[in-house]
């Protein structure tokens, strides 16, 4: 890792390697991320149980949104938003995120 200096995260950092929150990011954890299986289901199950999150999918394929969306019910407080798409270049997807945030702030 050379001279890379790791700092404490300012927001909760969840690891799909350990299945939980990372309180201290270090070289050993990053090494395990490279070696061990990526278990997104484990982390996602915990987040979905809380039912209060906005999932922003920053991948061009929308793979996270496609994984989360079928697991949300009509009554769910959580929402998922694909933010990037090769088919939307006018910012419409981001506007949906902002509109949802504004609506949530009013309630």
Same domain, 62 and 81: yes
Stated pTM of the model: 0.66
Same domain, 106 and 65: yes
- Which residue ranges in the chain fall short of pLDDT 70? 1-2, 89-90, 102, 104-107
pLDDT of the residue at 18: 87
pLDDT of the residue at 26: 85
For residue 39, give its domain range.
Answer: 1-50
Same domain, 78 and 105: yes
What count of Cα atoms within 13 Å lies in the side-chain half-sphere of residue 4? 7
Give the domain-ending residue among 17, 32, 50.
50
pLDDT of the residue at 72: 92
pLDDT of the residue at 101: 76
Same domain, 59 and 46: no
d(CA 15, CA 74): 28
Same domain, 27 and 64: no
Structural domain total, the chain: 2
Same domain, 57 and 105: yes
């Amino acid at each position: 890792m050379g001279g890379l200096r790791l700092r404490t995260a300012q927001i909760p950092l969840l690891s799909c390697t350990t299945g939980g929150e990372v309180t201290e990011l270090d070289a050993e954890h990053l090494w395990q991320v490279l070696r061990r299986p990526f278990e997104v289901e484990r982390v996602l199950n915990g987040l979905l149980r809380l039912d209060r999150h906005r999932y922003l999918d920053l991948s061009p394929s929308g793979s996270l949104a496609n994984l989360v969306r079928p697991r949300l019910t009509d009554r769910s407080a959580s929402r998922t938003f694909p933010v990037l798409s090769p088919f939307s270049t006018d910012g419409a997807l981001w506007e949906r995120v902002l509109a949802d945030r504004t609506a949530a702030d009013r309630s």
